[in-house]
Amino acid sequence: MSGSRIAAVVLRQLYLMRGSPARVIPLFVWVAVDVVLWGFITTYLDAVTSAGFSFMPVLLGAVLLWDFLVRVMQGVTIAFFEDVWTRNFLNIFATPLSISEYLAGLVFSSIVTSSAGLVVMLVLATAFFGLSFLAYGPSLLAVLLVLFLFGTALGIFSSAVVLRLGPASEWLIWPVPALISPFVGVFYPLSVLPEWMRLVSHVLPPSYVFEGLRALVSGGTLSATLMLWGASLSVFYIVAACWCFARMYRHAVQTGLIARYSAETVS
């Protein structure tokens, strides 16, 4: 792997953000909107429910961590879409850049953009609603790691889908986190789900994160075993997503789709 080629993919994203407020503002605005909206909802719920239970870490904390996962996924897909939108596949894939370098560049781009959103989220939640993520202690790092890895897997898989189906399939990608969220128990414990949904939740790494968080704020501890299981599943999904992307790329090279991508299909 060449560091300079990976850096080129990241640099492209930094250049685009530097020259375009339309790309920078969404990194912060949606996070800020979620903090404000869910901050007031949880404040209200805390006021009308019995004393002794705080919704703040359970609801606001969970929503913001889910937001982080979504930002990670979008960080990968948007960096990929930049090549789709500018019809740049022919230029970029005719260079010595390998697929593993390209994917690494997309992931590093996502680290930059999702980290920016995470910092804003931490500052706003602490400053306006007194929710300190630091109160989770070292567990927070494990939680963020699992969510980052799974968000990365979703981003790479989504990019593979768009590479295979063409630019118009972009709309299929944006609702993916919303489709997953009911199964992973962002707002409620998995025990309220019907059996078949719980079976699905067992293979989704964020389920372990949000169950663990609820145990943590209830005075328990975050299970290291569950976090390890979540991280392992996430790594498995990253490997599977990379395999899927590489396969879609090979298909595109065999059929000529890379060179005629705007046509969406060569069949």
> Which stretches of the chain bind another protein, using CB under 8 A?
2, 4-5, 7-8, 11-12, 15-16, 19-20, 82, 86-98, 250, 253-256, 258-259, 266
Rounded to whole angstroms, the Cα distance separating 134 from 126 reads: 9
- Nearer CB in complex with another protein: 16/190: 16
**22/48 with CB nearer another protein:** 22
CA distance 257 to 74: 24
Residue 221 main-chain phi, psi, to 5 deg: -125, 160
For residue 32, which of 161, 123, 112 has the smallest C-alpha distance? Answer: 123
| Smallest gap from residue 31 Cβ to another protein (A) | 24
At 73, which amino acid appears?
A: M
C-alpha to C-alpha distance for 52 and 155, rounded to whole angstroms: 39
Residue closer to another protein (CB basis): 7 or 190: 7
* Minimum separation from the CB atom of position 266 to another protein (A): 7
Q: In degrees to the nearest 10, what's the CA dihedral of 247, 249, 254, 257?
A: 140
Query: Which residue's CB is nearer to another protein, number 40 or number 85?
Result: 85
CA distance 53 to 168: 46
The percent of the chain in helix, strand and coil, each rounded to the nearest 5, is 80, 0, 20
- Closer residue to another protein, CB minimum distance, 67 or 101: 101
Query: Which lies closer to another protein via its Cβ, residue 50 or residue 262?
Result: 262
CB of 89 to another protein, least distance (A): 8
Rounded CA-CA distance 46/82 in Å is 43
Rounded to whole angstroms, the Cα distance separating 106 from 91 reads 17
